[in-house]
């Protein structure tokens, strides 16, 4: 399965945030170096600087990332995620958001606000198999 996986990771950093506090734990948890991210500088609504950092993992690295993140999601959140799995995918892509504040503490927690966005793509050829395939991916 690893050769077919793709994981996109996107981090939004505001001017007031210390990027090292985010990227160091990302490296420790997932072995993704800061220099692997493509960083785009933009302006926020009030003219403040915002950095948009993106990277894509494929094949074995994507598989290792998914296993690591799935193993660190708290059991209660994982149970809730699986029970509501249909809310997390669009077409055949699966979306997660993990809290930046938790990453700083080297923890994983599913969050909607102030989050690192994760998009997992995996080919699923039968629409009625999408949920099953992602549950298998997250629970192996």
- Per-residue pLDDT 10s for the chain (140 aa) are 555 899 999 999 998 899 999 999 999 999 999 999 999 999 988 888 999 999 999 999 999 999 999 999 999 999 999 999 999 999 889 999 999 999 999 999 999 999 999 999 998 888 889 999 999 999 86
Output DSSP code: residue 110.
B
In sequence order, which residues have a C-beta less than 8 Å from that of residue 128 and are 6 or more positions away?
none
pTM of the full structure: 0.91
CA distance 138 to 135: 5
Q: Would you state the structure tokens that stand for residue 91, as one six-digit string?
A: 């077409």
CB 106 within 8 A of CB 25: yes
Sequence-distant (≥ 6) Cβ neighbours of residue 131 within 8 angstroms: 85, 86, 89
- CATH code, 28: 3.30.1440.10
pLDDT at 3 (0 to 100): 55
| Domain region containing 72 | 2-139
What is residue 14's three-state secondary structure? strand
pLDDT score, position 46:
86
Name the maximum alpha-carbon separation found in the chain: 45
- The number of distinct structural domains making up the chain is 1
């Amino acid at each position: 399965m690893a050769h077919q996986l793709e994981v996109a990771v996107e981090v939004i950093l505001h001017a007031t945030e210390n990027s090292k506090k985010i990227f160091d734990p990302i490296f420790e948890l997932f072995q993704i170096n800061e220099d692997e991210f493509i960083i785009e500088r933009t302006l926020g609504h009030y003219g403040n600087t915002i950095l948009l950092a993106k990277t894509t993992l494929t094949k074995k690295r994507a598989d290792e990332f998914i296993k690591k993140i799935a193993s660190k999601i708290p059991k209660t959140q994982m149970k809730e995620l699986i029970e509501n799995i249909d809310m997390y995918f669009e077409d055949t892509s699966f979306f997660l958001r993990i809290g930046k504040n938790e990453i700083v503490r080297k923890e994983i927690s599913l969050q909607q606000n102030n989050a690192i966005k994760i998009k997992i793509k995996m080919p699923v050829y039968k629409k009625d198999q999408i949920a099953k395939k992602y549950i298998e991916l997250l629970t192996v």
